[in-house]
Structure 1
């Protein structure tokens, strides 16, 4: 898994459409090896991002868990501590 793609499931508040789209875009960029596709590939690139966004939204809507939702602010603080520790 790409280390910069963050977990989107089981957070309070839930992941937004923009966050899901950003994760899909990052995924497509990673597997295509291209941050910005050529004009010839732009349509396929955009279709892939849209499809992965839709499937990811469906997945997040259907996942269930008995664990309480994680607080975004607490998790962000933990990430900052890890970043300082390992930098």
Structure 2
């Protein structure tokens, strides 16, 4: 998975539309191999982002879990600690 795509399931409050859209953009960028589509491909790129965002929203709304909701600040701290470990000088 792309490092920039974040887990969106089981957070309180639920993932925002901006978070879903950002994940969709990252996915389409990865699959297409481009961060900025040419003018000729911009419409296809945006259509793909919209389709992936819709599919993501449907998935998130359909998932069921018994686990307690995650805290965004706690998850961000964990990610920061992992990054510090990953990029520390050796």
| Fold equivalence (TM over 0.5) | yes
Aligned to 1:62: 62
1:3 maps to which residue?
3
Structure 2 gap ranges (5+)? none
Which residue of structure 2 lines up, in the alignment, with residue 19 of structure 1?
19
Instruction: Give structure 1 stretches of 5+ with no counterpart.
Output: none
What TM-score comes out, normalization by structure 1 length? Answer: 0.96
Q: Secondary structure of the residue that 1:4 maps to in structure 2?
A: coil
**2:44 equivalent to 1:50:** no
Q: Distance in 2 between matches of 1:17 and 1:85?
A: 31
- Please give the alpha-carbon distance, in whole angstroms, between the structure 1 residues aligned to 2:85 and 2:69: 26
Q: What's the TM-score once normalised by structure 2's chain length? A: 0.93
CA RMSD of aligned residues (A): 0.7
Q: Looking at secondary structure, tell me which structure has more strand per residue.
A: 1
Once superposed, which parts of structure 1, at least 4 consecutive aligned residues long, lie more than 4 Å away?
none
Secondary structure at the residue paired with 2:2? Answer: coil
> Could you tell me how far 1:5 is from its partner in structure 2?
0.9
Number of residue pairs matched by the alignment:
87
Q: Return the alpha-carbon distance in structure 2 between the equivalents of residues 4 and 39 of structure 1.
A: 25
Separation (CA, whole Å) in 2 of partners of 1:60 and 1:45: 22
Give the whole-Å Cα distance in 2 for the aligned partners of 1:34 and 1:85.
29
